[in-house]
Homo-oligomer: A and B are copies of this chain.
Amino acid sequence: MNDVARAAGVSQATVSFVLNDRRDIPVAPATRQRVLEAASTLRYRTDRRAQELRIGRSTTIGVVSHGVASHPFAGSILRGLQREALRRSHAVMVIDVDVEATAADVTDAVAGLVDRGVGAVVHASAGTRPVQIGDVDGAVRTAFVACWPADGSAPGEALLLPDDRGGGRAVAAHVLGLGHRSIAFLGGPARDHARRERERGLDEALGLAGLPLDSVRRFDGDYGTRSGYRLAARVLEGDDRPSALLCGNDQMALGAYLAARDLGLRVPHDLSIAGYDDQEALANQLVPELSTVALPHDALGARAAEILIGDPPPEPVTEFVECEVVVRESTSPPPLNTY
């Protein structure tokens, strides 16, 4: 900055003023111009560390990602977050911790972030589940995306979740609307939060349609393709084969695709299949393309950035972001349609 000042023939303070575009300090247009030029020819860039040190605020937000590596689409959360952060000239620093990280591991991660001056941290997961948050002592602004503190503590300034119940209701309504009455629900683990919400959504849709809850058979899977395969094979081999499968996620739907084909069933002609997640490079690439529910990861990430960079909300916010069903080719009216 001194070099720029010298080159422009002004004081270093003046350089700071024009570079930070401070409108309250008047600077002669000509001077201003000289400074800008000097800065540009010298390829000057302000050192954020020094700047932050001085102003006492941070221009970077940290994210603790609880197992990106294990989840293909965590990228979207990051993307939304980053885009929004960038718009507010903030940077994003991420540190990935294992899905099975202990509280101590996470404490280290958060500490590393805080030591480097992040002004806020967002915990992000792709699975909508409890995560370890470590012992951070409320030292930093925090938000949660698709996860919440495993230890039951308060979820910082914001708890941002996909509206899985609504999504579950929406796909169910879609399939019901097509005329299906014999449906199987191939869900995630029985204790999984998302699975439960989605199933409740299903129940709501059933209620709305005036159908008994036990008209849909339900199974527990593990969100893996193989479990989708196994469950689908089992239900499809029995008598009174369902005409539609509501899968816990796209991976399980893929398993169902494989199982259906192995049994000589055509999708969607003989069997409709719906997924959940709208996983990139999967749902829209399948043959036939998979009807599914889009998870609003990008929006969730963006919202987190928005909240944490702005003024702290008077009280913690909890938001459920809508999950839209995206209808593609794998769902159609049931065969032998009788209405």
Within the assembled complex, what's the spacing in Å between the Cα atoms of A48 and B251?
42
Contact of A92 among B50, B95, B117 (CB under 8 A): B95
User: Which residues in chain A, 88-111, are within 8 Å of chain B measured between CB atoms?
Assistant: 91-96, 111
Q: How far is the CB of A53 from chain B (nearest CB, A)?
A: 5
- Determine whether the beta carbon of B69 is less than 8 Å from that of A96: no
Range, interface on chain A: 35 or more
Instruction: Assess the A286–B94 pair: CB atoms within 8 A.
Output: no
Q: In the complex, A73 Cα to B262 Cα: how many Å?
A: 29
Q: Is the CB–CB distance between A117 and B280 below 8 Å? A: no
CB distance from A254 to the nearest CB of B (A): 8
Question: In whole Å, how far is A313's beta carbon from the nearest beta carbon of chain B?
Answer: 26
In Å, the complex CA distance between A47 and B78 comes to 25
Residues 162-199 of chain A: 1 if any B CB is under 8 Å from the residue's CB, otherwise 0?
A: 00000000000000000000000000000000000000
> A1-30: which residues lie under 8 A (CB-CB) from chain B?
none
Query: Does A114 interact with chain B (Cβ within 8 Å)?
Result: yes
A91 to B86, alpha carbons, bound, how many Å?
A: 20
Q: Are A96 and B82 in contact (CB under 8 A)?
A: yes
A49-B117 contact given A226-B287, A258-B287, A287-B229, CB 8 Å threshold: yes
Assembled-state Cα–Cα distance A93/B90 (Å): 13
A residues lining the B interface (CB < 8 Å): 43, 45-50, 52-53, 59-60, 68-76, 78-79, 82, 86, 91-96, 111-117, 137, 224-226, 229, 251, 254-255, 257-259, 261-262, 280-282, 285-287
5 tightest A-B contacts by CB? Answer: A69-B75, A72-B72, A225-B285, A261-B261, A49-B49
